[in-house]
Amino acid sequence: MVLARPSAPREEISWSGWGDPAQASALPDTLRDLLRDTLGVRPGATPPPAATDLELVPPRLAAAAQDELRATLGADHVHSDHDSRARHARGKSTIDLLQLRAAGPVTAPDAVLTPGSHDEILAVLELCSRRGVAVVPFGGGTSVVGGLTPETGGFAGLVALDTRRLNALVALDDESRLAVLEPGLRGPEAEALLAALGYTLGHFPQSFEYATLGGFAAARSSGQASAGYGRFDDRVLALRLATPAGTLTLGRAPKSAAGPDLRQLVLGSEGTLGVITELTVTVTPAPDRRVYEGWRLPDFARGAAVLRRLAQDGPAATVLRLSDEAETALNLARPHQLTANGDTTRGGGPPNHGCLAILGWEGEATEVDRRRSATAELLRAADGELEPGAGEAWEAGRYRAPYMRDALLDAGALVETLETVTFWSGLPALYAAVGDALREALTRQGTPPAVLCHISHVYPAGASLYFTVACAQLRDPVAQWRAAKAAAATAILDAGGSISHHHGVGADHRDPYALEIGPLGVALLHAVKRTLDPAGILNPGILLPVLRAP
């Protein structure tokens, strides 16, 4: 039984950049001049080719395997055309996009499969296990950590399993406030189906417009309103997983003492153990009111102390974010107001300093007003000043940053993000260590960077740090960024942080993740994978190294 599906057809997103090509950003000349004068960025970056000009590695999938897949799914749901393969070749990290621009053929799935049910996915996994064909589960394609580029050496081919046809609201339990949803729903699709019934998931990551619920679960996504609604994995109470070994159904109650919570093995598994085909999630009544404000606090350390106080003692907010001084200067300036040292000026007056906090409150109108007023008192006591229009500007542009990243790449800048998380007591050291590592690694290569940072998710015990890095591109920008990322990863682990808070592990974080959990942790996860995926076909090399036969 299905309650509802999206009524509008799904629009394809850009294959070589972020989101809707019609919304692509253009850089003003003033910003191009600033990039040249402060970072040494020069024109000359390789633009993305036309889709028809992208050279793909020839497919290896045997004709007999393709015929069997067509017999299983129907010919209309097995796609081996150039456009389908190109659109499923990479995720959306800077490295992914740079690799699409580089000379030479690009690896891509041999075929793209669009199954329409749990049973069809089981059949595909059985077939691929038997034939030794690797499978990459594909939701929105928004991975920024190399989660869609498995290692396929030793396999008889690679297929992408696209979940777009699993897009139903299956059931709603009003009494328990639970919704049963399929994994192929994009964020806006799920929100629209739930809003029609008076509910929200409250999950709004920057990838919200294009990522899917299955991807949210598989990568432990965290949305911009996590202070109020929690992370996505907090909201998943039950799920169903199709694996090469069969069906795994988990979650009978909100909490249980019946052994270890096996749901936690699936959440964050990034398609390496199975394909999520159904999710039971908690839903919240849609809020009567949403209000977002910006407040300027004296500096990053005192701003972080205010966020910690709010996270630990309240009053509770739905959105809590804090930009450091460099990011604040960029957020509150127009390009012509930026100076070489990152300060901003308004009307020829003195530079603006401090750090911008974004706070949001959602819920019943009277309760929103109460929490907002109490928070304002605390902010003023910490020498905070209301920044008019900043909250509204953040809301209006909350999903726009990836478009600017693409425009900066086109202009010859290297731009990428990374994130981490630690306890409050370790936050200052982690912030300093990662920033220093990025600056030193890129300056050593002759491209001194701008490094921006914000706290994007808070908990009573700690918070995440989200870094944005920009510098001039070298001849090999992929190697350039990998060297910087490796230095940052070492700094994260040495400072006691985790290698990822919400981007996931993918291929890019696999080696530092292994150091984080240790050899016994890696062996434990391999044992689980051998049980659920004996042939090792699911996303090989993602999350964990590929186990080779002795």
Q: Tell me how many domains the chain contains.
A: 4
What is each CA distance from 438 to 166, 313, 471, 488, 499, in whole angstroms? 41, 34, 11, 6, 15
- Give the domain CATH number at 116: 3.30.43.10
| Kind of pairing between the strands at 134-138 and 158-162 | parallel
Q: 376 and 317 share a domain?
A: yes
Q: Is 522 a member of any domain?
A: no
Is residue 134 within 8 A of residue 159, CB to CB? The reply is: yes
Q: 273 and 294 share a domain?
A: no
Q: Which helix (H) or strand (E) holds 304?
A: helix 300-313
Q: Considering only CA atoms, which of 275, 270, 221, 220 is closest in space to residue 248? A: 275
Specify the residue for token string 């949305």.
223
Tens digit of each residue's pLDDT (9 = 90 or more) over 191-208: 999 999 999 999 999 999
Q: 128 and 145 share a domain?
A: yes
The total number of residues shown for the chain amounts to 550
Name the DSSP class of 219.
Answer: T
Q: For the chain, first and last CA: distance in Å?
A: 47
Q: Residue 265: CB partners within 8 Å, gap ≥ 6? A: 273, 528
Is residue 428 within 8 A of residue 422, CB to CB? The reply is: no
Percentage helix, strand, coil, to 5, in the chain?
40, 20, 40
Q: Residue 130: CB partners within 8 Å, gap ≥ 6? A: none
Q: Is 508 a member of any domain?
A: no
Q: What is the pTM of this model?
A: 0.94
Query: 136-146: b or e for each residue (b if 16 or more CB lie within 10 Å)?
Result: bbbbbbbbbbb
The two tokens of residue 253 are: 């109650």
Q: 209 and 281 share a domain?
A: yes
DSSP assignments along 359-396, one per residue:
EEEEESHHHHHHHHHHHHHHHHHTT-EE-TTHHHHHHH
Is residue 173 within 8 A of residue 104, CB to CB? The reply is: no
Given 141, 162, 183, which residue is the final one in a domain? 162
Q: 277 and 300 share a domain?
A: no
Name the DSSP class of 223.
Answer: -
Q: Is 506 a member of any domain?
A: no
Cα–Cα distance, 94 to 402 (Å, whole number): 10
Q: Is 34 a member of any domain?
A: no
Tens digit of each residue's pLDDT (9 = 90 or more) over 465-520: 999 999 999 999 999 999 999 999 999 999 999 999 999 999 999 999 999 999 99
Name the DSSP class of 514.
Answer: H
Q: Is 322 a member of any domain?
A: yes
What is each CA distance from 294 to 338, 345, 362, 387, 466, in whole angstroms? 20, 18, 15, 5, 18
Q: 173 and 83 share a domain?
A: no
Q: Is 393 a member of any domain?
A: yes
Q: 265 and 317 share a domain?
A: no
Task: Please name the amino acid found at residue 425.
Answer: S
Given 367, 382, 398, which residue is the final one in a domain? 398
pLDDT at 52: 87
Cα–Cα distance, 286 to 175 (Å, whole number): 15
Q: 311 and 393 share a domain?
A: yes
pLDDT at 338: 40
DSSP-assigned beta bridge partners for residue 144: none
The two tokens of residue 96 are: 């992914």
Q: Is 264 a member of any domain?
A: yes
Q: 392 and 304 share a domain?
A: yes
Q: 150 and 240 share a domain?
A: no
Let me know the angle formed at the C-alpha of 113 by 108 and 115, rounded to the nearest 5 degrees: 155
Cα–Cα distance, 260 to 273 (Å, whole number): 17
- Give the domain CATH number at 261: 3.30.465.10
- Give the domain CATH number at 387: 3.30.70.3450
Q: 68 and 148 share a domain?
A: yes
What is each CA distance from 508 to 466, 482, 490, 544, in whole angstroms? 16, 9, 13, 11
pLDDT at 541: 97
Q: 304 and 359 share a domain?
A: yes
The residue range of the domain holding 270 is: 169-285
Q: Is 93 a member of any domain?
A: yes
- Give the domain CATH number at 488: 3.30.300.330
Low-confidence ranges of the chain (pLDDT < 70): 333-352, 548-550
Given 162, 180, 214, which residue is the final one in a domain? 162
- Note the helical H segments in 158-230: 187-195, 213-218, 226-229
Cα–Cα distance, 504 to 521 (Å, whole number): 17
